[in-house]
Structure formats: structure tokens, C-alpha cells
């Protein structure tokens, strides 16, 4: 029996260092995991700081500037294919490329109004009912009126009033 007790003590003595080594391994793994987590947090913080610093240093792009506008008098026309039952009222503003175009637009005002009236009167209710039809009308007006200009051009056509009744 004494021999059995000695064998048990020797066995316990051998097992204790093994437990200490296993405990040390556990602490090493915990330390490595903590280093990885801290490294990720520091890296993420630096990345965030750098991106914020670079975005604040970038010059902010100014809002798109609308050029000088030239207003036209209101247009009221009967729409095509409705026996005069439907009419269109439109007020336009023309964005021009340079202020020098104003004098030319003023001198051509009767021609511009006549051409625009012809174009508006050729449209039907179905064409103007859709958003794409209104955009096409803007483009058509711009192309038609630019054909009269010799200096500068019309950049964009704005509808400030658009009523179909």
C-alpha cells in the first residue's frame, strides 16, 4: 500500500507541472487575442481618423451655378388633336451661356416667340402628359431657338409655369 501511495504522489507530482503549462498556454492565447483585438481597434481608429482628415481637407465642390436667365412672356396655345378643347399655358426662362446673348435675344424676340408658338401648338396632350414628353419639349425649344443665335447659345430651358387644361 505504501508503494501505491508513492506511485500516486509521483503521478500527482508529474501532473501538476502539466497543469501549470496548460494554464500558461491559456494565458498566452488570451494575450494574443487581446493584442489582435487592440491592434484592430487602433488600426480602425487610425483609418477613421485619416479618412476624416482627408475629407475635411478636400475643397468642397461649389453647388452648380445657374447662368444668367432670360425670361420669356407666357405662351397660351391650343393643343393639337383636341378640337380646341385643351390648351397649354407655359412660362419659360432661358439659361444663356454669356451675358452678351441678351442683346441678341431681345432683338430676335418676335422670331423666338413665333417659333416657340409653332412648336407648342404642334404638340398633343398625350405627348406632354409624360415627364419624358416635357423633357423632349425643353430640348426641342432649345435646339430651335439656338438655330437663330449667332453669338452664344441657350444652355437650358426652364419651365416656370406649365399648365394643361
Residue 160's φ and ψ, nearest 5 degrees, are -100, -10
Percent over 90 (pLDDT), the chain? 47
Name the pLDDT band for 85 (thresholds 50, 70, 90). confident
Query: Between these two residues, 151 and 5, which has the higher pLDDT value?
Result: 151
CB 125, CB 87: distance < 8 Å: no
Q: Which segments of the chain does DSSP mark as H helices, in order?
A: 2-57, 101-107, 109-121, 125-129, 131-146
pTM score over 0.75: no
Residue 57 has pLDDT above 70, yes or no: no
For β-strands 75-78 and 154-164, DSSP reports them as unpaired
Average per-residue pLDDT for the chain: 84
Give the closest residue to 138 by CA, choosing from 127, 149, 151, 148: 127
Residue 32 has pLDDT above 60, yes or no: yes
64, three cell numbers:
452648380
Q: How far apart are CA 40 and CA 38, in angstroms?
A: 5
Q: What's 1's DSSP letter?
A: -
Amino acid at each position: 500500500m505504501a508503494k501505491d501511495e508513492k506511485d500516486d504522489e509521483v503521478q500527482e507530482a508529474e501532473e501538476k507541472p502539466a497543469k501549470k503549462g496548460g494554464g500558461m498556454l491559456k494565458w498566452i492565447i488570451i494575450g494574443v487575442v487581446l493584442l489582435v483585438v487592440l491592434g484592430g481597434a487602433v488600426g480602425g481608429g487610425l483609418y477613421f481618423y485619416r479618412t476624416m482628415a482627408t475629407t475635411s481637407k478636400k475643397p468642397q465642390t461649389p453647388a452648380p451655378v445657374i447662368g444668367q436667365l432670360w425670361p420669356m412672356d407666357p405662351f397660351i396655345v391650343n393643343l393639337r388633336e383636341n378640337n380646341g378643347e385643351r390648351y397649354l399655358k407655359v412660362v419659360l426662362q432661358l439659361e444663356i451661356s454669356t451675358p452678351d446673348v441678351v442683346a441678341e435675344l431681345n432683338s430676335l424676340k418676335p422670331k423666338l416667340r413665333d417659333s416657340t408658338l409653332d412648336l407648342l401648338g404642334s404638340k398633343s396632350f398625350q405627348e406632354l402628359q409624360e415627364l419624358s414628353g416635357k423633357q423632349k419639349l425643353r430640348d426641342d425649344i432649345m435646339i430651335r431657338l439656338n438655330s437663330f443665335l449667332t453669338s452664344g447659345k441657350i444652355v437650358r430651358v426652364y419651365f416656370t409655369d406649365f399648365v394643361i387644361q
